[in-house]
Amino acid sequence: MTVTYDKVALIGLGLIASSMAHAIRAGGLARVIAGHAKTAETRRVALEIGLCDTVHETAAEAVKDADLVVLAVPVGAMGAVAAEIAPHLKPGATVTDVGSVKQAVIDAVAPHLPPGIHFIPGHPVAGTEYSGPRSGFATLFQNRWWLLTPLAQADIGAVAKLRAFLQEMGANVDEMDAGHHDLVLAVTSHTPHLIAYTMVGVADDLGRVTDTEVIKYSAAGFRDFTRIAASDPTMWRDVFLNNKDATLEILGRFTEELFALQRAIRIGDGEHLFAYFTRTRAIRRSIIEAGQDTSAPNFGRSKGTP
Residues contributing to the site for ligand NAP (CB under 6 A) = 11-17, 37-39, 42, 59, 72-75, 77, 80-81, 98-100, 123-124, 127, 131-132, 232, 235
Q: Indicate the residue among 17 and 93 with the shorter CB distance to ligand NAP.
A: 17
Query: Is 76 in contact with 107 (CB distance < 8 Å)?
Result: no
Instruction: Name the 3-class secondary structure at 6.
Output: strand
Complex with ligand NAP: residue 3 or 230, whichever CB lies closer: 230
Instruction: Tell me the closest approach of the beta carbon of residue 266 to ligand NAP, in angstroms.
Output: 37
**Shortest Å distance, C-beta 200 to ligand NAP:** 17
* Separation of alpha carbons 284 and 240, rounded Å: 25
Shortest distance in whole angstroms from residue 28 CB to ligand NAP:
23
Find the largest Cα–Cα distance for the chain. 67
Q: What is the Cα–Cα distance from 280 to 191, expressed in whole angstroms?
A: 16
Q: Name, in order, each residue with C-beta under 8 angstroms of 91's C-beta and a sequence gap of 6 or more.
A: 116, 117
Q: Which is nearer to ligand NAP, 7 or 193 (CB)?
A: 193
Q: Which residues pair with 175 in a beta bridge?
A: 148
**Minimal distance in Å, beta carbon 134 to ligand NAP?**
10
C-alpha 126: how far from its chain's center? Answer: 6
User: Where is 284: in which H helix or E strand?
Assistant: helix 270-289
Taking the least distance from each CB to ligand NAP, the nearer of 15 and 186 is 15
Nearest to 171 by CA among 27, 54, 75: 27
Shortest distance, CB of residue 212 to ligand NAP, whole angstroms? 30
- Our CB check for ligand NAP shows the closer of 125 and 203 to be 125
